[in-house]
Amino acid sequence: MGSSVTASAVRAKTETGSHLFTISDYSLIKGIGIGKCIESDVFTIGGYDWIIQFYPDGSETKFENFISFFLALKSGATDVKALYTLTILQHNGLTSNMRKSSAPEVKTFNSTTYYAWGFVKFAKKSEFEVSNCLKNDTFTIMCTVTVVQGTCLRPTTPYGITVPPSNLNQQYAHLLESSDGSDITFVVKGESFKAHRCVLATRSAVFKAELFGCMKEKKAKTITVDDIEASVFKAMLYFIYSDSLPDFDGNSILMAEHLLIAADR
């Protein structure tokens, strides 16, 4: 008699999103008192509402020499399982080494008990205040949340090999963020952005002609761009790498107009 083998696989069903929280006038905010926090606007990820809590003087007396950050659940819900990462950005928008994550431990948020999780020793005040993350008395922290929403079956081949979902756009966005292997630098209004010639040429005929054609930029390692705002150029690079747009602070319609102009150029 013949025999047959079947297979199935299950994976966690998750939703991931990020929120940028910008704190201005840091020198005026610090000193509000130990155990006192300022909160971000409410943002929604995975069907739940969240806020970021910032303690400039530490969440407790024994942590007064540290800045503390927490992720708090605002929705009236229980047993919400999530992973989270808090990262202070450099003034050019890239990630810094001031980063802490709950991974690989999944935290359970309950609106009535453990509604907030975070890091009481996120960073020493003395180190943070001299870092390149604090510029013009302002800094931005990015909170990335992955909400676990259950499980789902993954498609398999007749041989039982699991087919993973595509995440190519996320990997390319990470490549841009990390600058690993970058071979070209753009200087835009005093800010530097590292990129990869092959990616730019693949995604844009203009960049292909500029970087691999007969133009003078073919051999250049640094290109200065004068007629685009740094924030617009950064968003355009993000789209080129990830085929999606980042979250915008402020007027998203105005940013979209600037992006159209940049794309036309």
pLDDT the model gives residue 168: 85
| HSE toward the beta carbon, residue 247, CA cutoff 13 A | 12
| Number of neighbouring beta carbons within 10 Å of residue 265 | 10
The 10 Å CB-count burial string (b at 16+, else e) for 111-144 is: eeeebbbbbeebbeeeebeebebbeeeebbbbbb
Residue 225 has pLDDT above 80, yes or no: yes
Residue 256 confidence (pLDDT): 67
At residue 249, does pLDDT exceed 70?
no
pLDDT of residue 54: 97
Inform me whether the pLDDT recorded for 180 exceeds 80.
Answer: yes
Please give the pLDDT value at position 109.
95
pTM attached to this predicted model: 0.59
Domains and CATH numbers, the chain: 10-153 (2.60.210.10), 168-264 (3.30.710.10)
Which of these ranges, 73-82, 109-118, 237-246, has the smallest mean pLDDT? Answer: 237-246
3-state secondary structure of 171: helix
- What rounded mean pLDDT belongs to the chain? 86
Residue 165 has pLDDT above 80, yes or no: no
**Partners of 142 in beta bridges:** 20, 87
Strand partners, 17: 145
For 183-199, what is the mean pLDDT? 90
Q: Which of 26-35, 184-193, 213-222, 235-244 has the highest mean pLDDT?
A: 26-35
Per-residue model confidence (pLDDT) at position 156: 63
**Using DSSP, how many helices (H) and how many strands (E) does the chain show?**
7, 13
What pLDDT does 106 receive? Answer: 93
How far is Cα of residue 17 from the mean position of the Cα atoms in its chain?
8
Residue 247 has pLDDT above 90, yes or no: no
Q: In which band, very low, low, confident or very high, does the pLDDT at 243 lie, cut at 50, 70 and 90? A: confident
> Which range has highest mean pLDDT (49-53, 132-136, 209-213, 253-257)?
49-53
SS3 content of the chain, % helix, strand, coil (to 5): 25, 35, 35
Rounded CA-CA distance 111/72 in Å is: 9
Which residues face 162 on adjacent strands?
A: 156
pLDDT of residue 112: 81
Answer yes or no: is pLDDT of 262 > 60: yes
- Residue carrying structure tokens 């205040």: 129
Q: What is the pLDDT of residues 39-53, one digit of tens each?
A: 999 999 999 999 999
Best-predicted range by mean pLDDT among 106-115, 129-138, 162-171? Answer: 129-138
- Please list, in sequence order, all residues whose beta carbon lies within 8 angstroms of the beta carbon of residue 227, skipping any fewer than 6 positions away: 265
165: preceding bond cis by omega (within 30 degrees)? no
